[in-house]
Amino acid sequence: MNHPLESFHYCPRCGSADFTVHNEKSKKCGGCGFVYYFNSSAAVVAVIENEKGEILVARRGKEPAKGSYDLPGGFIDLFETAEEAVCREVLEETSLIATNPLYLFSIPNIYLYSGFEVHTVDLFFKCKVNDFSGLRADDDVAELLLLAPGMINPAAFGLTSIRKGIEKILQIVI
């Protein structure tokens, strides 16, 4: 596997092609001196249970891992907190109002977007939903299911971080 910095050939500040490896985390521009550090992008994941203890699971409607299981979530927007992001993503993908996001854990991931490997750190939150009556798959979600923990197979989740997260969640719930 290539190092992520190999995809960047020009300085993002001045456009110079004199953009070389500075250390294992960065490249430096020989023209303007700018040092670019390649850091993880932040993403959020919602863990939502109904009153029966069933977990809300989404089926991915788009690549990567189209057709596999997922949990509601996505990238954190600029100027947005992780808590705001997880509530926004739940609303966009499920039409549900999520409240009281409680941080659980994080897992690093590589998310393939348009052929480019985006390194992420996925922040998992347990969220409360009071009313499931408006549940509707939207955005990049093809289908939504409420599954009892015993019916969830981690291997059915297409994204590595979500699969690992489901394994952790099932250890807590079961």
Confidence of residue 1 (pLDDT cuts 50, 70, 90): low
pTM: 0.91
Please enumerate in sequence order all residues whose Cβ is within 8 A of that of 81, keeping only pairs 6 or more positions apart, or say none: none
pLDDT digits (tens, 9 = 90+) for 111-131: 988 888 889 999 999 999 999
pLDDT number for residue 7: 85
Mean pLDDT to the nearest integer, 77-84: 98
List, in order of start, the domains of the chain with CATH numbers. 4-37 (no CATH), 41-173 (3.90.79.10)
pLDDT at 2: 67
What is the model's pLDDT at position 117?
Answer: 86
Taking the C-alpha atoms of residue 148 and residue 164, their distance in angstroms, rounded to an integer, is: 18
Say if residue 36's pLDDT is above 80.
yes
Mean pLDDT of the chain: 95
Q: What is the CA radius of gyration of the chain?
A: 19
Residue 84 has pLDDT above 90, yes or no: yes
